[in-house]
Amino acid sequence: MTDARPIAIFDSGIGGLTVLAAVRRRLPAERFLYLGDTARLPYGTKSAETVVRYAARAASFLAGHGIKLLVVACNTVSASALPALEEAMDVPVVGVVTPGARAAAAVTRGRVGVIGTESTVASGAYGRALRAIRPEVETVARACPLFVPLAEEGWWDHPITREVAALYLEPFAGGRVDTLILGCTHYPLLRPAIAAALGDGVRLVDSAEAVAGEVAALLAEAGLDAPGNGGVRLMVTDAAARIARIAGLILPGAPVPLELVDLPD
């Protein structure tokens, strides 16, 4: 059995293109519909109530496009709004927190660091997900708000980014954790700077890669794989030139045009 309906990938902005890139590498035959709510970005500094409201609006817009699966690429939304979205949607919803926590639980020797937006860290979602799998695992979490603008500036391995990473990641360095979850869409872009700040011996867990594995397994199990003519449509709620530039940095190769859309109430 195959299913040609697209997979929707939703994020607060275009950082979720790191998740699209990972899922697409894994499932090149699928059609993808990406929605970045760039007009309301950032979500990571907003209250959980606001994040739930924004996410519900985006999900109902995507449901209107005949999708077969919703991937919530945004860690902030996955941490605060996943139950609400699961209830509202009649297709499977995959967030990034559980796959990321599973990937970390599979490799850690017992001490896991979590980095994310202020909202993701305040939610405690990664710690809960990890303890549900391995109750003995200890977690330490820290918000790294400057990483998002640094990633969007294209300063992925810039000396300033290395300095900021050294300051933010100080609580994790020196063997205090053995695994670090990159709990934000933008952080995989800063991997070299993050790895340099931590030194050898700390495994970096990228939720984007973990979610790609989860989506592939779910589609195969449900017999929902695509028949084989993949493609990507990128929709954003604000299409400033800056956003197109960052999208080009994250998704190099043939440029995909950004479609401007409005999310009805």
CB of 139 vs ligand DGL, minimal distance in Å? 17
Q: Binding pattern to ligand DGL, positions 84-123, x when CB under 6 A?
A: --------------------------------xx--x---
Q: Which is nearer to ligand DGL, 152 or 224 (CB)?
A: 152
Let me know: does 157 contact 193? Beta carbons within 8 Å: yes
3-class DSSP state of 50: helix
Output the CA torsion sign for 151, 145, 167, 177.
Answer: negative
Nearer to ligand DGL, 17 or 226 (CB): 17
Of 7, 8, 21, 41, the residue at the interface with ligand DGL (CB under 6 A) is 41
Catalytic residue among 184, 211, 215, 234: 184
Q: Token pair of 75, please?
A: 């860690």
Task: Please choose, out of 40-48, 86-94, 149-157, 252-260, the segment that lies near ligand DGL by the rule CB under 6 A.
Answer: 40-48
User: Binding to ligand DGL by residue 38, rule CB under 6 A?
Assistant: no
Closer CB to ligand DGL, residue 44 or residue 127?
A: 44
The secondary structure of residue 215, as a DSSP letter, is H
Q: Is residue 75 involved in binding ligand DGL (CB under 6 A)?
A: yes
DSSP-assigned beta bridge partners for residue 93: 70
Nearest to 133, CA basis, from 101, 110, 108, 109: 101
Q: How far apart are CA 37 and CA 41, in angstroms?
A: 6
**Among residues 52, 62, 67, 74, which one is catalytic?**
74
For the question of residue 144 being annotated catalytic, the response is: no
Nearest-angstrom CA–CA distance, 92 and 198? 36
| Integer Cα distance of 20 and 72 in angstroms | 10
Q: Quote the tokens at residue 58.
A: 């985006």
Contact string (CB under 6 A) for ligand DGL, positions 181-220, x = contact: ---xxx----------------------------------
Q: Which of 11, 152, 206, 209 touches ligand DGL by CB under 6 A?
A: 11
What is the distance between the alpha carbons of residues 227 and 109, in angstroms, rounded to a whole number? 41
121-150 binders of ligand DGL (CB under 6 A): 148
The burial class, CB within 10 Å (0-12 / 13-18 / 19+), for 191 is middle
Question: Site for ligand DGL (CB under 6 A): which residue of 12, 38, 80, 237?
Answer: 12
Residues with catalytic function: 74, 184
The footprint of ligand DGL (CB under 6 A) covers: 11-13, 15, 41-44, 74-76, 116-117, 120, 148, 184-186
